[in-house]
Amino acid sequence: MSEHTITFEIDGVEVRASHGQTVMVAADVAGIYIPRLCAFDGLPPYGSCRVCTVKINGRFQSACTQPVAEGIIVENETEELLEFRRNIIDMLFVEGNHFCMFCEKSGNCELQALAYRFGIAAPKYPYMFPADRNVDASHKDIFIDHNRCILCARCVRASRDLDGKNVFQFVGRGPGKRIAVNAQAKLVDTNIDVSDKAVEVCPVGAILKKHVGFTIPIGQRKYDHEPIGADIEANKQ
């Protein structure tokens, strides 16, 4: 075994990792799925959605930001953590206006897929139905539906770190927090392009490309036949 190899446990399973890896990355390599929404390959860890919360040596931590360490004990599939994640997913649904049956992202939506994986047929919390969520369809190739935004910051980080443009940023605080663009008016006034990575990384239907709606029919989409995380679990050692 390499002197740089770190050994630890996830739910009693021995996992080997490299120095500097996060718990989430090491789990992925080992074929153990830890749910996530803000995490995305190629983007620095962010830790905002907390869907990836695990317990490490008895303390709650976000798996996407927590580095591995020798001998740590990670809990991932306990009923306590599963209920914690269900509650977060529930709240994300009621804090926005999500109409899955009309959304072009249905079947490819990670929030929807997590709800299916966790057996959520309908949220248990009262719907907020925010009235100030607008749709910006000013750009010829892209539109933003703020009703579906879950504030994961993927678009913010991708535009900054991958596209080098800084098109998106957060404005406001608390219930008034939202995604805004780096222009005085609308998306059309920015330098975003349909080929930008920021357009592709949204886990829900908040940022979508125009002119390609339902090119892939419902029933043939990514999560229509296999649950989210199935690709990771297929590599279980």
The distance of Cα 234 from the centroid of its chain, to the nearest Å, equals 20
The C-alpha atoms of residue 181 and residue 142 are separated, in whole angstroms, by 13
Average pLDDT per block of 10 residues along the chain, 237 residues long: 82 96 97 98 94 98 97 98 97 94 95 97 92 93 96 97 96 90 90 97 97 93 96 88
pLDDT tens-digit readout, 182-201: 987 799 999 999 999 999 99
Token pair for 214? 């339902």
pLDDT at res. 132: 85
Sheet holding 135-136, edge to edge: 135-136, 142-145, 207-209
CATH number of 5-77: 3.10.20.740
Label residue 151 left, alpha or beta by phi (over 0 means left) and psi (-120 to 50 means alpha).
left
- The architecture that CATH gives domain 125-224 is 2-Layer Sandwich (3.30)
The C-alpha atoms of residue 163 and residue 28 are separated, in whole angstroms, by 26
Q: Do domains 5-77 and 125-224 have the same CATH topology?
A: no
pLDDT at res. 185: 79
Q: Which long-range contacts (CB under 8 A, 24 or more apart) does 223-227 make?
A: 223/107, 223/108, 223/109, 223/112, 223/113, 223/116, 224/107, 227/113, 227/116, 227/117
Nearest to 24 by CA among 81, 65, 84, 80: 65
pLDDT tens-digit readout, 38-88: 999 999 999 999 999 999 999 999 999 999 999 999 999 999 999 999 999
Nearest to 144 by CA among 136, 132, 152: 136
Q: Where are the domains of the chain?
A: 5-77, 125-224
In eight-state DSSP terms, residue 222 is: H
Q: What is the DSSP string of 41-78?
A: TTS-----S-TTEEEETTEEEETTTPBP-TT-EEE-S-
